[in-house]
Amino acid sequence: MSAASVASVARLRRAARETVSGLPREFWWLWTSTLVNRLGAFVATFMALYLTLDRGYSASYAGLVASLHGLGGVVSSLAGGVMADRLGRRPTLLIAQSATAVSVAVLGFMQDPVAIAGVAFLVGMASNASRPAVQAMMADIVRPEDRVRAFSLNYWAINLGFAVSSMAAGFIAEFSYLAGFLIEAAMTLACAVVVFLKLPESRPVASAKRADGDVGLGTVLRDGRYMAVVGLSFLVALVFQQGSVGLPVAMGRAGFTAADYGFAVAVNGVLIVALQIPVTRFIEHRDPRTLLVVSSVLAGYGFGLTAFAGSVGVFALTVCVWTLAEIVNAPTQTGLVVRLSPVHGRGRYQGVYTLSWSLAALVAPLMSGAVIDRYGAQWLWAMCAVVGTVAGSGYGVLMRRLPAERRTAETAPASTDADTGAELSTA
């Protein structure tokens, strides 16, 4: 091996060490729970195929079930945030993951179409309820200066797990759809076991509540600056959702096959797994205002460029553009949410932020379908460019005077993590 190659390997090793160093062990157990959860996320991948091919239901019914699953997520976004603040992060995770495991297993045995739709709604509620608690716990246990890196690593685990589970789902479905339901239930239950055995409660103690005042959902909704950020997050989410709702329809209308779409969109997962960590090292300490403005505009125009795609290769290139925007936007946006959240109200604030993505998942299919049917796909991609520009401009205006990090009363006094000095409650 040449000297240049040795030096390059040494730089990569050093970069990897710097990326993962300094984070508390509780974070890595939470990260492991996230990865296991996403590795077992089979049902969302093959649900439409299960309902249409295996059970013989119509595409309209499959769409209804998907919408009910999404509606369950909308409901639980707020409920999960309230639970994370009132009951604690750990109990909320245990309840949500246990309920998800049970409901997914039950869904695999349902025969009646009404029962399938109803249980799918419950699955959506249970699976989405854990998200505010995960994000709030991560903010509790990680130092402010390390949060963007921590959120980025967690996002990387989500995408790595999803990439693996998406490939595995096809093989499992060939064997047995029921096996997919049961394996996902078992792996979700394993996440609950990890939380029970390895994660202490991280919710700030009463002193933090006194410092922040009484924080309810009304407090969040009256926080004009924060709700404006949530609104901008909704716009950005609408754009990113087109990768899974507008893009396949548009490619199908243009004569491309499902395999063509699969190849193009696979670039998204591959790039996130390959670039999330090095890009995060580049953006970690940069101005979040600039990052959110650039990533929003880049997302909008990345999808906007799809209007000029005439081959699978060009579609894949457009995916590269908006994937880079996603890599930058996701951890930066989540870090901003923490920065604007009162310490004792993190669960509720995260719940409202999660709601913006859940609502986008409901609205995007309806919006993209209506626009493509009435005006054509070119108008959809033009709208994405406009929405991305509006969101970027909004971030530029809102973040002119970004408040300082909330550092006071962030920790509970029960036990101290040796790696960071952060104090964690053992309740």
Task: Give the confidence band of 107 by pLDDT, cuts at 50, 70, 90.
Answer: very high
- pLDDT, position 3: 60
pTM of the model as a whole: 0.76
The residue ranking higher by pLDDT, 166 or 298, is: 298
Quick: pLDDT tens for 163-217: 787 777 777 877 888 888 999 999 999 999 999 999 888 888 655 445 545 677 7
Q: Give the angle subtended at the CA of 27 by the CAs of 38 and 216, to the nearest 5°.
A: 85
Bridge partner list, 415: 424
3-state secondary structure of 202: coil
Burial (0-12, 13-18, 19+ Cβ within 10 Å), 404: exposed
DSSP H or E segment with residue 423:
strand 423-424
Quick: pLDDT tens for 307-365: 999 898 999 999 999 999 999 998 899 888 888 888 888 888 888 998 898 888 888 87
CA distances from 254 to 185, 367, 372 (A): 38, 19, 12
- Pick left, alpha or beta for residue 21 (phi over 0 → left; psi -120 to 50 → alpha; otherwise beta): beta
Domain locations in the chain as residue ranges? 24-402+413-424
Q: Are 283 and 163 a contacting pair, CB within 8 Å?
A: no
Q: Give the angle subtended at the CA of 89 by the CAs of 34 and 16, to the nearest 5°.
A: 40
User: What CATH topology corresponds to 24-402+413-424?
Assistant: Growth Hormone; Chain: A; (1.20.1250)
